[in-house]
Structure 1
């Protein structure tokens, strides 16, 4: 009999496990316990529990280990990324205990595509520097990104080392600082070329993040298209709520997204 993802009860168990991850009740490397223990904890049958865990295993959130000391564990190589992240990826990985590295796949000067020109508010015949890089965590590809910058703002960009933080390079060499960043997050699948870069199977799920960064004057200087392996990245979102002060109504304030580089 083939495994299934179950119905509403299994979905509820999955949501409860993900909530425990988000709240820190479960941490990377934590052991969930035996099927019997977990079934009792969630008050479900063992078959329902297996159906609940299957999608989480396929998504790379959980891993099942056999043999002595085996069981179901929270994967330790999954990188948690805030959708409102202000930390560059290398620093984020280092703070999470992962070793980071970058491979520059290509750097070229070319006319902007219509999408890039529109995002960067450029003339249709304007040129950009397009930098494509593979980002690795613990030696395994995590993402591949394509970052585009207007040539007039960064005239000699390819002359600089491109395997570090681009945001730091832009700040130090051109005085460009991301004050406002807008990100769009979608789900996609890997093409043959993308699968080869990321060392995954063709049509495997990807998190697709497009980003436009603006400086203090509101001028866009970066358009990026990032592809993250869905089995190695977990997105979280945090909002802050201002307390009522001297009669001023409190309001929810989502953090803006500043990231990568």
Structure 2
């Protein structure tokens, strides 16, 4: 943690707020701080100077400074901590996780220019639970491969993957290296790449085991993504539970209105006219 003074080099090139522009001072302060963060001059866990000193150095009122800091806090760039060692700190920036198009974790990180890592916790052959068997449409004594991995970004744990694949479709999978993209293995070695999926997103709390693997406190918020993936022929080939650290990820998904839905809306509108 760095305790920054108003003259620290990380706070150099302060905005010239006396110059007349169409933008209010608090907006220019916000933009300046964002540029220092994006440029790497301000890094996570840096503590900004006390508000009174900082406002005086910038030549603005504390109210103006608080407007800028409040906007940055609302967008997740800053965080305010209470107590004797509290203050306003630069926050670890969340990683955008785009689920559009059924990407694997490696592709998700590639989209934001972050190198993905994987640590294999365990792989085993087992009888599926009822929910997994139902999702994969398995019956009788058919087994699944259970693959548990911790996925990392910027060398820190980001997500815990719990993946189930039917053994009869992926023979010998447990003998392969599973520290890279599993989707690539499914496509390249088995010609059973996921093509479509149904996903559910819900907030959950970290259990003791989840907390240990993700390096968070027990009870920390996680975002659970439950997914069943299908081949182009409609065969279910994957059921997974991905748990993302809520403090390090921001999940996005691009959607659009389908042609069929649009046609239905137009038809309904015409009938009401």
Same fold (TM over 0.5): yes
| 1: CA distance, partners of 2:242 / 2:124 | 17
Within a 5 Å distance, the mapping from 1:93-108 to structure 2 comes to: 93-108=109-124
The answer to whether the Cα contact below 8 Å between 1:182 and 1:213 also exists between their aligned partners in 2 is yes
| 2: CA distance, partners of 1:120 / 1:112 | 9
Choose between structure 1 and 2 for higher RCO, CA contacts under 8 A separated by at least 6 residues.
Answer: 1
Structure with bigger helix share is 2
The answer to whether the Cα contact below 8 Å between 2:148 and 2:160 also exists between their aligned partners in 1 is yes
Q: Which residue pairs with 2:77 in the alignment?
A: 62
The answer to whether the Cα contact below 8 Å between 1:104 and 1:134 also exists between their aligned partners in 2 is yes
Unaligned runs of 5+ in 1: 1-25, 252-261
Structure 1 length-normalised TM: 0.68
Instruction: Give the match's secondary structure for 1:37.
Output: helix
Given the alignment, which residue of 28, 31, 36 partners 2:63?
36
Structure with bigger strand share is 1
Aligned positions, number: 207
CA shift for structure 1 position 83: 3.6
State the Cα RMSD in Å. Answer: 3.5
Question: Which one has a bigger Cα radius of gyration?
Answer: 2
Does residue 1:92 correspond to 2:108, yes or no?
yes
| 1: CA distance, partners of 2:243 / 2:36 | 23
CA shift for structure 1 position 239: 2.4
The answer to whether the Cα contact below 8 Å between 1:186 and 1:208 also exists between their aligned partners in 2 is yes
| 1: CA distance, partners of 2:187 / 2:217 | 37
Change (3 A) 1:74 1:172: same
Q: Which residue pairs with 1:123 in the alignment?
A: 139
Q: Which residue pairs with 2:165 in the alignment?
A: 149
Instruction: Give the match's secondary structure for 1:186.
Output: strand
Does residue 1:220 correspond to 2:236, yes or no?
yes
Unaligned runs of 5+ in 2: 1-33, 43-53, 56-61, 82-86, 266-273
| 1: CA distance, partners of 2:242 / 2:229 | 14
CA shift for structure 1 position 125: 2.9
CA shift for structure 1 position 89: 1.6
Structure 2 length-normalised TM: 0.65
| 1: CA distance, partners of 2:141 / 2:35 | 50
Given the alignment, which residue of 238, 247, 259 partners 2:254?
238
